[in-house]
Every structure is written in C-alpha cells, then in structure tokens.
Amino acid sequence: MKKRYLVLLLFTAIAVLAYHFFLSGFFAGYGPRPPTVSDDPLQTISLPEGFSLEVYAAVPNARSMALSDFGVLFVGTRDSDRVSAVVDDEVKVVASGLNMPNGVALWNGSLYVAEVSRILRFEDIEEHLENASYTVVRDDFPAETLHGWKFIQFGPDGKLYVPIGAPCNVCLEEGYATIMRLNPDGTDLEEYAAGVRNTVGFDWHPATNELWFTDNGRDWLGDDRPPDELNHAPDKGLHFGFPYCHGGTIQDPEFTDRGCAEFEQPALRLGPHVAALGMQFYTGDMFPEYYRGGIFIAEHGSWNRRDPIGYRVTFVKLEDGLPVSYEVFAEGWLQGTLSWGRPVDVEVMEDGSLLISDDKAGKIYRVIYSE
C-alpha cells in the first residue's frame, strides 16, 4: 500500500512539473509564444497595402523625437538619463546624467530638453554633438515624477509649450494638469490650457496653426472607460474637464461640483486606456493623398486593462478641420496579451516617410510607401 502511494505521488509530481514546463515554454514547439528578437518581430507589424517598415536606429528607451533641418534626429528618454542624436546611421549620446529627459525640441539651432523640473538649452547643438553643454532656461517646474516627464514643442507663435501633468490618478492640485507656454529665454511663463490630465504629445494644424493634443484618461473607472482624448485648443484659456469630467461625458465620482457641460468637449474620443502619446499632422507627400493633413498618433498601450489595447499607431482623418475617422495604421507590437514593443512618438521626415519611436524595444522605425 505504501509503495503504491509513493508511485502515485511520484507520477503526480512528474505531471505537475511537465505542466509547469509546458506553460513556461519549455516545450518550444507547442502552443503560441511571444515573439523574440530571433523571430524577427518586425514581421508581426501589419500596415496598409503599399507601406513597409524598417529599423531606422537602435536607441535604448527611445521616446520623444525632434528632427533638425539638416536631418539630425534628437531622441529623449524617460527611464534613462540620456539624450541622443542619430547622425548618418550613427547614434551619439549628446547628454547624460539628466532626470527623465523625455522632451526634446529645436529652436534657432538650439536643442531644448525637458527634465521633470527644468528646461535646458544646448546652444548650436549640431556644432557641438561631441561636447554639448547646456544652460538652464527655467528650473521651477514641479518635481513630482508621476506624470512629470514632459513632451515639449515650439508653437507657430515662437513660444515653447510645456505640459504639467497631474501628480496623481485623479486629484485637484493647483498648478497641475495644464499646458504652459513661455518664451525661448524662459520668461513670461503663462497657462495656455487647463483641465489636461497628462498630455505627452501635441502639434499645430498646418493650415490654421491651432493646437491639437492627446490626453490620457484616468484609471480605475473600468476597462472601457474613460476614453483617451484628442483635443483641439484654438485659443488660450480653455478648460478640458480634468478632474471633474472625462471624455466629455463621464462625471468623476470624486469630483461632482462641476458638470461636464462646463468644459470643452474632445475633438475625438480615442480607445479606453490606449495611452495616446505622440501625435503629428502628416505634412509630407510620400504617402497617398488620403493621409495628407491627417493626424498620426502613437498609442503606447494600456497597463491595467484586463484585455490589453493600444500598442499601435493610429490615424485620424480630418475634413473641414474636424475628425471624420479613427483607424489603425500600424499594429503588431501586441501579440495576444504580450507586447514586444510600445510606440511613443511619431515624426514626419523631409522625404515624407514616418518615424516611430519604441521605448520598450529601444528602436526607431521608418515607415515608407511605394506603389
């Protein structure tokens, strides 16, 4: 009896171990598994007919991008301390030892870099890629790191636009959840838009010079709400709802003293929790006419949704200045419930091709079109 019990126990242990190894991928020939580098993950990316994608550069934790008139691509990071420059297929580290230097922007030959609490300026950057040094433009932004990483960009008015994300999931804190703007020398800081939980991407309409931006919705209201937002801010002084209202129609359960009717409605409701980050109007002429004047959006991907969503690049078509469609342009970084990459930013090159940064894979991709 004792011997039979030991044999049964041994077979049970073997069965449990075999099941464990199967789930962990020990038996590589059975069942699906996430793509790895050796699997050539680029083959998983699907694009509309006529488009193709290639690796443009390998930049660890590649985030926001800024392209100079001479073709030098500057790349910020969030989980690293570096800003890099891609020059003639070579990646150079321009600066290191920085605090979440996510945002990069160019103005009159100088590179502006946004840390959490400071804006830095590297003068004549393309002449000093090997020995860049900076001056501090402004150093009085909040030091909270939650939503403290910044996307920055110069507007058609010559001012630098700087968002200050909410230091929380949902809260009402003075001086946060705004888009600010200032002069290139750091003076005349002023609020441009309020009620913006966390924007990490914006651009100006090429014809009207009006600001458009993405905004990440709050968490923990369910898998399917609220949506992320694409917003339109043609004038200074508009309020986009946070923390009272989300997606234009969803009253926050914690902040009920102001209703949704008081605030600006989104120009377009995006997917729930897709983490819409970088966006840019397509101003090139390589892609078909259908895409010209529309908006490409990098969706970084959900982190707390039961069924992940995002991990893709989407396209919003405009007609008469209004969004008329929202569709997937490039996807495949998400395979089932596992992702091998996360798009962060998009940048239109002079030849009309489109760059996409990916902070998880540490790559920058180039999308081209050929008939």
Find all residues with CB under 8 Å of 94, minimum gap 6, and list them. 74, 82, 83, 84, 85, 111, 122, 125, 129, 132
Q: Which mean pLDDT values do the consecutive 10-residue runs of the chain (371 residues) have?
A: 43 40 33 50 97 98 98 98 97 98 98 98 97 98 98 98 98 98 98 98 98 98 98 98 98 97 98 98 98 98 96 98 98 97 98 98 98 88
Residue 77 sits at the vertex; the CA angle it makes with 348 and 196, to the nearest 5 degrees, is 75
What is the C-alpha to C-alpha distance for residues 178 and 30, in angstroms, rounded to an integer?
50
What is the C-alpha to C-alpha distance for residues 315 and 294, in angstroms, rounded to an integer?
7
The full set of domains in the chain, from first to last, is 34-369 (2.120.10.30)
What is the C-alpha to C-alpha distance for residues 173 and 255, in angstroms, rounded to an integer?
12
- pTM of the entire predicted model: 0.90
- Cis? peptide before 226, omega within 30° of 0: yes
- Please name the residue that has the structure tokens 């609220």: 226
Structure tokens at 5: 């019990």
pLDDT of residue 26: 32
CA proximity to 254, closest of 175, 196, 194, 168: 168
pLDDT of residue 37: 43
Find all residues with CB under 8 Å of 271, minimum gap 6, and list them. 227, 228, 299, 309, 310
